Amino acid sequence: MMHMAQLAAPSATDAPTLTTLPAETLALRDTVRAWANERLAPHVRRLDEDDAAAFDWDLVREGHNLGLTRLVVPKQFGGLGQGEFGVAVALEELAAIDAGFALIFGATMLGQAPVLLSGDPRLQARFLPLFCGDEPVLACNAITEDQAGCDLLIPENAQFAQGVMRARREGDHYVLDGSKKFITNGKVATYATVFANMEGHPGATGLTCFVVMLDRPGVTLGDVADKMSYRSCLGTEMHFDHVIVPEENVVGGEGGGVYINVQQMNMARAAVAAISTGVARGALEQAIEWAGKRVQGGMPLRKHQFTARKLAEMSAKVDAARMLYLRAAHLADNEIPAPAYEPAVAKLFADRIAIEVATEAMGLMGARGYLRDHGMEKRLRDALGARIYEGTPEVLALAVTEAIYDDDDDF
């Protein structure tokens, strides 16, 4: 049974809170907040209503200039050298305005993560400087497939995964065949980290991660998914037909994909929890503003006790979600392998409260909450998105209970 000490919050000295963020993180938060409010916010409705395949490279370029495409790239390659902590804080700011834009940069980091986690200096020197030039470069992380969804996110179920993309070694290279689905940035990325199963291994038990440049012969991109929200980022099918990948592009060795996948998932869950927290915060702030000025029954809504109770509950939920993701991100920056419990708990909670807070906030705005004009209904649609990627509630529950019953010692 997991020791209770692991369930308790770390001591005050090693668990920074939003009031004690390191100066560097505070500066990053304020920069991203200012950009999101001043530059991104005016475009949110257009980004939401545009054609599914529309993509705003100009805004992405502005984000790139802020460093959002190279947050986790080590300083030696020209990046900002941030850990999950800084990433999560930045993504909350973006998601408070538009979750889709947060995911453009988040998915790029997911494409960078395997290269970072490989610990392979040659791979790092080849791929990470790409993100540090004058023009924005995006990456993507391709796991999900038509038949294999959650089975690729639950390590114990890897053996049951069906129809997984195949990899075959031929001399000094590998040949990839198969398709991926719903891949964020697939349409606009320069490379993908692609997870394929080595031939001869059942299910996904031989999962191996490859860096695949997307201009390779045999790579074709399908239509962009017509999503309910998150429309500013593009989710795409990707087809790999006899794509030849040099052996130097294997990340973490043959069969190492299971580790890379689990490790990056545990790191990313803190960041996705931050996205959900941001969506909830955006809805809360809008509700606070509305309830402060909308008068019914002779006084502002906020003075009505029922409304006050709702606002207080919403506020407590957002604060709690933030504390959970900060704890998870902090631990993910200080343990290898990253812990499974704290990030899963943070995401499980934040995904749920984002939906609850956005629903309440919409209700507080009455009919206006239901209209596109005010943007609240879009926040609710955003809130429903993060519940799917990087672990559904069911997948997270399995990760949480696996950790609770884990009999690991207390190292």
Partner 1 sequence: MGVFTSKQQATSVFTTLFGILLDDERFASTVRKENLSVQFFHSDPDLTVYVSADGVWIDETPSAPVISIKMSCDNADALWSGRLLMPIALATRKIRIKGSVAKVIEFVPLLQPAFDRYPSIAAQAGVGAGA
Site mask for ligand FAD (CB under 6 A), range 211-250, x = bound: -------------------x----x---------------
Residue 403 and residue 408: Cα distance in Å, rounded?
9
- The reply to whether 123 sits near partner 1 by the rule CB under 8 A is no
- Six-digit token string for 324: 């959970």
Q: Hey, what amino acid is at 69?
A: T
Query: Do residues 323 and 17 make contact, with C-beta atoms less than 8 angstroms apart?
Result: yes
- Tell me the CA end-to-end span of the chain in Å, nearest whole number: 14
Distances (CA, A) of 362 to 65, 85, 385: 34, 30, 17
| The only residue of 48, 151, 237, 333 in contact with partner 1, by rule CB under 8 A | 333
- The reply to whether 360 sits near partner 1 by the rule CB under 8 A is no
Task: Look at residue 340 and give the partner it binds from partner 1, ligand FAD, none, a contact being a CB closer than 5 to 8 Å depending on partner kind.
Answer: none
- The reply to whether 143 sits near ligand FAD by the rule CB under 6 A is yes
Q: Measured from the CB of residue 267, what is the shortest distance to partner 1 in angstroms?
A: 9
Residue 262 and residue 245: Cα distance in Å, rounded?
23
Q: Measured from the CB of residue 138, what is the shortest distance to ligand FAD in angstroms?
A: 11
- How far from chain centre, in Å, is Cα 380? 18
Q: Measured from the CB of residue 210, what is the shortest distance to partner 1 in angstroms?
A: 14
Name the residue among 193, 81, 205 with its Cα closest to residue 140: 193
- The reply to whether 260 sits near partner 1 by the rule CB under 8 A is yes
| The only residue of 59, 66, 71, 116 in contact with partner 1, by rule CB under 8 A | 116
Name the residue among 211, 149, 148 with its Cα closest to residue 176: 211
Q: Hey, what amino acid is at 141?
A: N
Question: Considering only 103-111, 177-185, 326-334, 388-396, which stretch makes contact with partner 1 by CB under 8 A?
Answer: 326-334
Name the residue among 390, 365, 361, 153 with its Cα closest to residue 268: 390
| The only residue of 263, 264, 266, 307 in contact with partner 1, by rule CB under 8 A | 263
- The reply to whether 395 sits near ligand FAD by the rule CB under 6 A is yes
- The reply to whether 10 sits near partner 1 by the rule CB under 8 A is no
Site mask for partner 1 (CB under 8 A), range 22-61, x = bound: ----------------------------------------
Task: Give the pairing type, strands 191-198 and 166-170.
Answer: parallel
- The reply to whether 252 sits near partner 1 by the rule CB under 8 A is yes
Q: Which is nearer to ligand FAD, 142 or 324 (CB)?
A: 142
Q: What is the 3-state secondary structure (H, E, C) of 178-236?
A: EEEEEEECCCCCCEEEEEEEECCCCCCCCEEEEEEECCCCCEEEEEECCCCCCCCCCEE
Peptide bond into 339 cis (omega under 30): no
- How far from chain centre, in Å, is Cα 245? 27
- The reply to whether 359 sits near ligand FAD by the rule CB under 6 A is no
| The only residue of 10, 74, 129, 218 in contact with partner 1, by rule CB under 8 A | 74
Tell me how crowded residue 132 is: count the other CB atoms within 10 A of its CB. Answer: 17
Task: Give the pairing type, strands 235-246 and 191-198.
Answer: unpaired
Q: Which is nearer to ligand FAD, 128 or 140 (CB)?
A: 140
Task: Look at residue 323 and give the partner it binds from partner 1, ligand FAD, none, a contact being a CB closer than 5 to 8 Å depending on partner kind.
Answer: none
- The reply to whether 161 sits near ligand FAD by the rule CB under 6 A is no
Q: Measured from the CB of residue 81, what is the shortest distance to partner 1 in angstroms?
A: 6
Binding site residues, ligand FAD, CB under 6 A: 107, 140-144, 149-150, 153-154, 157, 182-184, 230, 235, 385, 388-389, 392, 394-395
Binding site residues, partner 1, CB under 8 A: 74, 81, 83, 116-119, 121, 252-253, 255-256, 258-260, 262-263, 332-338, 408, 411
